[in-house]
Structure 1
Amino acid sequence: MENNRILIIDDDPDVSQTLHDMAEALGFEVITTDSKLSFFAQLALFEPGIIIFDLAPLDQDNLALVEQLADINDKAQLVIVSGVSNESLNVIAKNANDRGLRLLGILQKPVPVARMRQLLTLYLSADQRKTPAGNNWQQQLDNSDWMPTQEDLIDVIENDLLTLNYQPKLDCSTGNLLGFEALARWDVPGKGSVTPDVFVPLAESSHLMSVLTCNIAKHGLLWLSKIQRSPILSNCSLQPEYSPDKLTLALNLSARCLEDTDMPDKLAEICHQFQVDPASVILEISESTVMHNPDKLLEILTLFRDKHFQLSIDDFGTGFSSMLHLVRLPFTELKIDKCFVGKADVSEEARAIIKSSVDLSKSLGIRSVAEGVESQSIRQFLTELGCNAFQGYLISKPVSEDSLLVWSKQYCESLH
């Protein structure tokens, strides 16, 4: 469950009261202050999930402020409210990102109340565990005063404006190409790029998630059908078990999609439309979603397996998994979270978690996949453990369809 405590510091009592009342109405527990001393004390005592702060009453060097915030509470998400210049705010944002702090938003005074409400609603809707440290999606926007709405998302769906990037997945021991993960992107002309950690919660809160997922699936499976039949790849001297028609595509499923009992039929119909075997499709479901209500989930996951879709438990190790639930639920793949994989070179604890995850997958008779592999030494470690597959920047970042086709051809030829 997300941390629904907010700490606000602002020296304007009207602003403080407005933000306090709005946050309470949304279900937050709120403390407001105009005292620097009280603010830093409450950072430690109250342990807020969100910190809303105006720079004026804090009255200190911005770099020192960021360091103090990181030292006292590096888990909270930050909303900076200020009348200082954009240049100064950008410096603070960069320093915060460099220290691993998470920025939910940067707002110029006078405070746009509707925008603040959207940010807090986004926080409540989002899967906080999946929000990477230092992520500030607004920094990707050319116009930081703009925030997507339900109407914008409807326009994206109706006009088919989402694009997909793809990241390859390789066999750990042989390096053979196994398939790809599809990652959706929403590029807004004149404004920048909106990432899934923003538009997925928006879709979920707008009851548009099933429609959006089918839209993404149509893009991805059309592309998969092309690459499985690509004459470019068929000319690569691959072993039969690694031939292009065996390549898979992983799609992420949100919790809302798992509440839609028609979703297995919808995705099966899209597979039929593009002549893709559902067994070539891996549906990734986060561990936190699985453990939220595993008994209720069993029915819908069984429907997916009846249609021959593969099922992957994603971000494994970051939640509170239960062996009993994993045994009962029909998963075919266990995906080890990049927060552990990325630290395998330097953390004994991370290596222990990875090893136990690989051992667990073996005992359950399912595949293990490591995401976020960025070095040969980590790949070697995974291979020695018997991990089945991996993906990450060591091989390729997520890239466009055309770029990936070129990459795939060159990579397959390099193996032989």
Structure 2
Amino acid sequence: GIGFNTFATDKPTDFPIAYQGFRPDVIVLDLQMGQSDGVELLRYLADQRAEEAIVLMSGVDQRIIDTAARLGKSLGLNIVNVLHKPIDINVLRTELGPLAEGTITLGPGGPLHEKDLERAILENHITVHYQPKIALRSGRVTGVEALVRWRQGSDELIPPDRFIPLAEKTGLIDALTQRVLETSLADARTWGEKWPELTLAVNLSPTMLSDLALPDRVASILRSYEVDPGRLILEVTESGAMESPDQTMEILARLRLKGVQLSIDDFGAGHSSLLQLYRLPYGELKIERSFVIDALDSQEAATIIHATIELGHRLGLKVVAEGVEDKLTAEWLAQLQCDVGQGNFFSAPLPSTEFLVWMDEWAGNQNPDSTHPRNSKAPDAGTVISLTA
């Protein structure tokens, strides 16, 4: 066998009882179950704050399956794979095997509390990792995105999707963002001696876009760490920018007047994308990562990316693709003239000291006779970007 104790049911009404009593590590969920459907159970699992790995399976149209998978991810569920019926048992063993062997980490469990997060901020247990952003046609590192982590104990890192909602709910998001800004700007000041044009991107919570004092606070922190405002990019999700549109316009306009750059994050994930681009002073557009991840397998995702790149360029915006996980995707995006790529193909998010080592290695792996970057940490150590006429 593949190492699982299993519990099976074909009755949706039995599923909640089985789930609460069995508490599985992996859930294999059929989207079609007679009287009910798997989408309803995805909603149930989201309400239960399920952290188990979920494998979807069905024989329905591919677009329906893809929609269900995207829904599950948007609900915060850990959708790890999609299988198509009829399913060969050997394929099932292959797909579930890594889960049984523990090679996929489901993340730390247990509830998180306000007092613990407050203590973590005060006692400097909040750390920042950096993921590089790569110019796809030259291989040059243009900047980094600062990604917050909560360090618990000596070696446990809690990912942001587990504690950012808590910070927003409890009002700790301002203190958390300030900690991220201070930490990352201190690092950016150090990098500036060697890489003066390297930009730093920091995410802004939607809850902060109603704080009229935000532009002055950001400017004050920039002065304290002696970092040029033009090196800071604040990323704003399109849905967040619409919660208080008038205040958001005022805040973002003042940030731009102070020299800070702005990026519309997760473009395509919200409902007011074109209005955002029309009304607000962005200089960069980041394509939502799910489109990029699906681009080579989904004609719809590829078409959306192509149109978004062209739209962004026509509006004078730099276009960034998040979620670049392999060489083929990087090459395809370069051929579409996407400006910048970001993703684990180039590098996973790294602590500051490891990022500096990565930067030196990346520079050392560049071919001086070519603009094609090389990356020793990539799955294939050959040419990362190849351009065609």
* Bin of the TM-score, shorter chain as denominator length: 0.7 to 0.9
Match of 1:131 in 2: 76
Q: Which residue of 2 aligns with 1:277?
A: 228
Structure 1 residues 286 and 133: alpha-carbon distance in aligned structure 2, compared to 1, 3 A threshold: farther
**Conserved? CA contact 1:140–1:192, under 8 Å:** no
Of the candidates 73, 85, 89, which is equivalent to residue 38 of structure 2? 73
Q: Distance in 2 between matches of 1:260 and 1:412?
A: 40
1:25-44 deviation digits (Å, cap 9, x = unpaired): xxxxxxxxxx985727xxxx
Q: Secondary structure in 2 aligned to 1:369? A: strand
- Which residue matches 1:151? 115
Residue 254 of structure 1 aligns with an amino acid whose one-letter code is S
For residue 375 of structure 1, the aligned residue among 326, 331, 334 is 326
Q: Distance in 1 between matches of 2:308 and 2:179?
A: 33
What's the TM-score once normalised by structure 2's chain length? 0.73
Q: Find the counterpart in structure 2 of residue 39 from structure 1.
A: 13
**In the alignment, does 2:177 pair up with 1:210?**
no
Aligned to 2:143: 179
Q: What's 1:222 paired with?
A: 186
Which of 237, 246, 249 is equivalent to 2:200? 249
Per the alignment, residue 53 of structure 1 pairs with 16
Counterpart Cα distance in 2 of 1:362 and 1:177: 20
CA shift for structure 1 position 160: 1.4
8 Å Cα contact 1:337/1:370 also seen in 2: yes
Query: Could you list the runs of 5+ residues in structure 2 that have no partner in the other structure?
Result: 1-8, 58-72, 81-103, 369-389
Change (3 A) 1:77 1:381: farther
- Classify the secondary structure of the residue corresponding to 2:285: strand
Q: Is the 8 A contact 2:201 2:235 kept in 1?
A: yes
Deviation of the 1:99 alpha carbon: 3.8
Letter paired with 1:224: A
Matches within 5 A, 1:214-363: 214-230=178-194, 244-363=195-314
Cα distance in 1 between the residues matched to 2:302 and 2:182: 38
CA distance in 2, matches of 1:139, 1:63: 9
Q: Deviations over 1:23-77 (max 9, x none)?
A: xxxxxxxxxxxx985727xxxxxxxxxxx92317999x97997323687234426
Unaligned runs of 5+ in 1: 1-34, 41-51, 82-88, 101-127, 231-243
Q: Residues 190-212 of structure 1: CA distance to partner in whole angstroms, max 9, x if unpaired?
A: 79432211211111111111111
Asked if the contact 2:210/2:244 (under 8 Å) is kept, the reply is no
Partner of 1:395: 346
Q: Which residue of 1 aligns with 2:93?
A: none
Preserved CA contact (<8 Å) 1:373 1:379: yes
Question: Does the CA-based 8 Å contact 2:181-2:202 persist in structure 1?
Answer: yes
TM-score, normalization: structure 1? 0.69
CA distance in 2, matches of 1:254, 1:70: 37
User: How far apart are residue 346 of structure 1 and its match?
Assistant: 1.2
Distance 1:39 1:386, change over 3 A: same
TM-aligned CA distance change 1:203 to 1:382, over 3 Å: same
Q: Is the 1:247–1:280 Cα contact (8 Å) retained in structure 2? A: yes
Aligned letter for 1:330?
P
User: The residue matched to 2:28 in structure 1 has which SS?
Assistant: helix
C-alpha displacement of 1:323:
2.2
Letter in 1 for 2:130: Y
Q: 1:149 deviation in Å? A: 0.9
In the alignment, is residue 196 of structure 1 matched against residue 160 of structure 2? Answer: yes
Counterpart AA for 2:43 = A
Return closer, same or farther for 1:164/1:325 CA change in 2, 3 Å cut-off: closer
Partner of 1:108: none
